[in-house]
């Protein structure tokens, strides 16, 4: 797990799980308190998901692409 604090106070967490799961999740906590899942890749679905948790606690899917 790679934890990085940006100059703007945001925290980025890059998490990679087993080679067989090949799951990569990049989490970014913005200075405004929002949390975003920027990238999620799985080998069989090539799923790209962008989620945003607003400061009000709502979660929305910004983009969800499935590639064959």
DSSP for 1-46, please give it.
-EEEE-TTS-EEEEEE--TTT--EEEEEE-TTS-EEEEEEE-TTT-
Q: Per-residue pLDDT tens for 10-65?
A: 545 444 554 545 455 555 555 555 555 555 454 544 444 455 555 555 555 544 45
pTM of the model: 0.23
* pLDDT computed for residue 64 by the predictor: 47
* pLDDT computed for residue 45 by the predictor: 44
Q: Which two tokens stand for residue 20?
A: 């067989």
Domain count within the chain: 1
CA distance linking residue 47 with residue 17, whole number of Å: 15
Q: Do residues 46 and 63 make contact, with C-beta atoms less than 8 angstroms apart?
A: no
Domain that holds residue 11: 2-66
């Amino acid at each position: 797990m790679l934890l990085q604090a940006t100059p703007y106070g945001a925290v980025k967490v890059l998490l990679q799980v087993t080679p067989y799961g090949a799951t990569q999740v990049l989490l970014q906590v913005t200075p405004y308190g929002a949390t975003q899942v920027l990238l999620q890749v799985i080998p069989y679905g090539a799923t790209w998901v962008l989620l945003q948790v607003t400061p009000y606690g709502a979660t929305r899917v910004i983009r969800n692409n499935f590639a064959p």
